[in-house]
Amino acid sequence: MKIPANTSLDAPVRIDDELDLIASVIDLRDRDIIELGCGKAQLARNLLARWPGNRVVGLEVDARQHAQNVADPSPGLAFVHAGAQAIPFDDARFDLALMLKSLHHIPLPLIDRALDEAARVLRPGGLLYVSEPVFAGSLNEVIRLFNDEAQVRAAAQEALRRAEASARWEAAGEIWFETLVQFRDFDQFRQRMIDVSFAERRLDDATLAEVRRRFEPHMTPEGARFVRPMRVNLLRRRA
């Protein structure tokens, strides 16, 4: 598998499709891949459309989202209802594990166990690709009004540092990048960021009004556009 050079935080690259970034640093031909926290599995579906020789498993802990995924099958893509802290597969089953904005959603006491589980199901030399949003930027300032993730994102990074120092993993690269996040209007923002099945958020009127007030200055005739800073950590499973 290809391994990237580190990219400086001072000059993060702009990425429109994270699948392009993954493909630039990892050989995606004929791989057994597991995505831990696949959500709607859009990246997995796009990956298989471009590299149909792969075999992908999408692990999703949210029962409603998992049911929606199962109802929309794709060739080469299987879905399993489970959390990353208890992956229901044998040891050394996969070549690559993906975690896209999902590590910080794992309950804090279980993050280290989830990374141990990822190591367990990877073959020696296999890679874990972890992409996490940085706690910064204008979109973050809107979202933190109802979902302040400072603690969980910091905990996710601390867990990655512990994993890199463990006997199971070695650090294989770090990349900083930026991605554009767009919303047609505040209603679409609310649908995508607030009214999500895995969170069950109920905002009071005052909080919702403050969120709208902070969101509205970003609106243009083409909608609201935000630049989200991201960090990728690549870990290689030791032999």
Query: Tell me, what amino acid is at 27?
Result: D
Q: Is-contact 211 145, C-beta < 8 A?
A: yes
Report d(CA 226, CA 182) in Å as an integer.
6
pLDDT at 6: 52
Q: Per-residue pLDDT tens for 37-54? A: 999 999 999 999 999 999
Report d(CA 56, CA 44) in Å as an integer.
7
Pairing of strands 32-36, 55-60: parallel
- Please state the domain extents for the chain: 13-133+148-177+231-237
Residues 6+ apart with CB under 8 A from 37: 59, 60, 61, 84, 99, 100, 101, 102, 103, 105, 106
Q: 196: pLDDT confidence band, cut at 50, 70 and 90?
A: confident
Query: Tell me, what amino acid is at 164?
Result: E
- Phi, psi (5° rounding) for residue 234? -105, 130
Query: Taking the domain 13-133+148-177+231-237, which CATH number applies?
Result: 3.40.50.150
pLDDT at 12: 74
Q: Per-residue pLDDT tens for 94-116? A: 999 999 999 999 999 999 999 99
pLDDT at 148: 95
Token pair recorded at residue 211: 């969120």
